[in-house]
Structure 1
Amino acid sequence: MPRPVTEVYVSPAPGIRLWTERRGAPDAPPLLLVMGAGACGLGWPEPLVDALAERHHVIRYDHRDTGRSTAAYDEHPYRLADLARDLLAVLDGLGIGRAHAVGLSLGGMLLQMALADHPERFLSATLMGTCALSERPYVAPDGTVTAPGDLPSITPEVLELWSRPVEDRGLEAELDRRVEHWRVLGGSRLPFDAAYFRDLERDIVAHTGSYAASTAHARADDSGMLRTDALARNEVPTLVIAAPEEPVFPPPHPQHIAQVVGNARMVEIPGMGHALPPAVHGPLVEAVLQHTAGAAAGVTPA
């Protein structure tokens, strides 16, 4: 059943407006969804948001230079760390003191920064498709120690795709490009539904009002993101989603996060990659809702 939806703009800085959407009962525990680089809030699929809204007041929003939010970078360059402050500004603008939060890819990094700098704003955190903002090494079960910079990098297929120039060949060609992008990001274990992702991207284009691809986040300054000591001291209940088919931050990146972030535990979603196809919605929602319920009750789900 569709949940009540409210759209509001918030302003994290002069001349910047961020589109936000709230879904679900206003008195339910708030849950903030933080998308990845270059992706607007509609990157969180409708069925997934609706399922989470059964128990939460779900907030998703458009980063700067995505969706309906201000396209700011070319005139007023910002750092990726500024986007971490934006997610706190979303909570402030909506009058939310503390929230559960889920971050995917760059969104997982932004959430780590916000979690480290302002832990009092979070009831729980869920991180997926991302890497640890920590200089502490990964220690494998056999005792092998690996520096963060030596952990597996982005797969060659993804790097090759990202190296291709993005040319304006019209809407349908751009949708073709985006669908291929999701195919590569999704991995090879789960069936790929091209029509599903084409519909998702067509909705994103309609929401944005343009099919032009922004490169702002790729060009933004990424300095000052590490939070090694603060993350080690973290006490906010944190769930790390391990995706065995993840091509951007392949295993053992999730295992590394679970080691270096305090009060973190890990759950694996079989077949999951760096995408949110229908096949992962059920287990992902279950994992997140078990985590938020456990955090609210002060217990760790088994």
Structure 2
Amino acid sequence: MDAVADPFVEDRFVEVEPDVHLWSQWLDGPADADPILLVMGANASGIVWPEELLARLSTRHPVIRYDHRDTGRSTWAFDEAPYAVADLAADAVAVLDAWGVDRAHVVGMSLGGTLVQLLLLDHPDRLVSATVFCTAALSAWEVPDMPGPGTALLRMWGEFDDPRDDAGELAWRVEHWRLLNGTGIPFDADEFRELERRVIAHTGRPDSPSAHARADQDGLDRGPELAGVTVPVLVVEAPEDPVNPPPHGEHLAAAIGGARLVTMPGMGHALPVAVVPALAEVLLAHTDAAEH
């Protein structure tokens, strides 16, 4: 990997509604390349994107990451001002606008992949390319017997709002990552403990966000529209994903017009350092092909 010497980093708060602000961050890359916008999953701060992945991507593109509403340093106000999942997709466009970006490569993980699908349908003119992984197609739940999360994960998700002291919260988050990681790549508890310490320090509060699980899901039943997508799309199959296991990736690639499917061996519903080099390679190959 070619190193970028002392890349310029800038933080910016983006107003998406009155009194609702999103934290975002720009990492410099080559000025003649389109930026990459990273869209994280449900109830997860943009800090979850691995620093090594950002460093690798920024050798070829400027990179933008941000905190969804009710995560990280963004506004936490769901109980006072509820919103829909579709509003989170509109937030991604607002982040691009705030940084003066007309078109970007957009990468979405988990719920972020759902939001990217909405962007493909509603804002294709803003996307140079799209990459999605660890996610399900908008049409996935219309397919009989499509697998979903296991009982252990569902049990933990029911505990998001349970009271815990700081040490208990950190231990709970690490155990959650253990389940999400799957069994294809050895789980490094210290790696994810340090990740969550960074997330908590960035956020300034130790409680687990859970608003996205309560957000209105109206407007997500648009699966048939995906066949008309013309933006270059890469679907990364995570074979050990316990949330959206195979054949979710295959189904999504088939649903999106012209999408390409690649498999990331051993990958679960997490981004351990071990998966970053291979993931960065396929992401950059896709963005290069879309630009040229």
TM range (shorter): over 0.9
**Contact 1:29 1:55 (8 Å CA) reproduced:** no
Matched, 1:46 2:51: yes
2:15 and 2:221 map into 1 onto residues whose CA distance is 26
Q: Deviations over 1:34-66 (max 9, x none)?
A: 001100100101111111111110000000010
Matched, 1:4 2:13: no
The residue correspondences of 1:165-244 to structure 2 (distance < 5 A) are: 166-244=161-239
**Contact 2:170 2:193 (8 Å CA) reproduced:** yes
2:271 and 2:37 map into 1 onto residues whose CA distance is 17
Between 202-211 and 213-222, report the one with greater CA deviation.
213-222
**Contact 2:161 2:210 (8 Å CA) reproduced:** no
Between 242-251 and 167-176, report the one with greater CA deviation.
167-176
2:236 and 2:160 map into 1 onto residues whose CA distance is 32
Q: Secondary structure at the match of 2:157?
A: helix
The residue correspondences of 1:12-91 to structure 2 (distance < 5 A) are: 12-25=16-29, 27=31, 28-91=33-96
Query: Cα distance, 1:209 vs. partner?
Result: 0.2
The residue identity in structure 1 corresponding to 2:8 is: P
The aligned residue for residue 109 of structure 1 is 114
The residue identity in structure 2 corresponding to 1:76 is: A
2:152 and 2:103 map into 1 onto residues whose CA distance is 39
Residues 294/165 of structure 1: CA separation in 2 closer, same or farther (3 Å cut)? closer
The residue identity in structure 2 corresponding to 1:168 is: P
TM-score by length of 1: 0.92
Q: Secondary structure at the match of 1:150?
A: coil
The partner residue of 2:264 within 266, 269, 275 is: 269
Structure 1: which 5+ residue stretches go unaligned?
A: 138-146, 298-302
**Contact 1:42 1:204 (8 Å CA) reproduced:** yes
1:152 and 1:98 map into 2 onto residues whose CA distance is 34
1:250 and 1:294 map into 2 onto residues whose CA distance is 27
Q: Deviations over 1:159-179 (max 9, x none)?
A: 222233643332222111111
1:227 and 1:236 map into 2 onto residues whose CA distance is 17
Query: Cα distance, 1:26 vs. partner?
Result: 6.3
**Contact 2:160 2:209 (8 Å CA) reproduced:** no
Structure 2: which 5+ residue stretches go unaligned?
A: none
The residue identity in structure 2 corresponding to 1:15 is: D
Query: Cα distance, 1:263 vs. partner?
Result: 1.7
2:120 and 2:17 map into 1 onto residues whose CA distance is 20
2:61 and 2:83 map into 1 onto residues whose CA distance is 32
The residue identity in structure 2 corresponding to 1:30 is: P
Percent of paired sites with the same residue: 51
Matched, 1:249 2:254: no
Q: Secondary structure at the match of 1:263?
A: coil
Q: Secondary structure at the match of 1:204?
A: helix
Matched, 1:133 2:128: no
2:74 and 2:159 map into 1 onto residues whose CA distance is 26
1:259 and 1:30 map into 2 onto residues whose CA distance is 27
Runs of 4+, deviation exceeding 4 Å: none
The aligned residue for residue 127 of structure 2 is 122
**Contact 2:240 2:267 (8 Å CA) reproduced:** yes
2:267 and 2:97 map into 1 onto residues whose CA distance is 33
The residue identity in structure 2 corresponding to 1:249 is: N
The residue identity in structure 2 corresponding to 1:167 is: D
Query: Cα distance, 1:12 vs. partner?
Result: 1.4
Q: Secondary structure at the match of 1:259?
A: helix
The residue identity in structure 1 corresponding to 2:216 is: D
Residues 69/94 of structure 1: CA separation in 2 closer, same or farther (3 Å cut)? same
Query: Cα distance, 1:240 vs. partner?
Result: 0.3
The aligned residue for residue 275 of structure 2 is 280
Q: Secondary structure at the match of 2:260?
A: strand
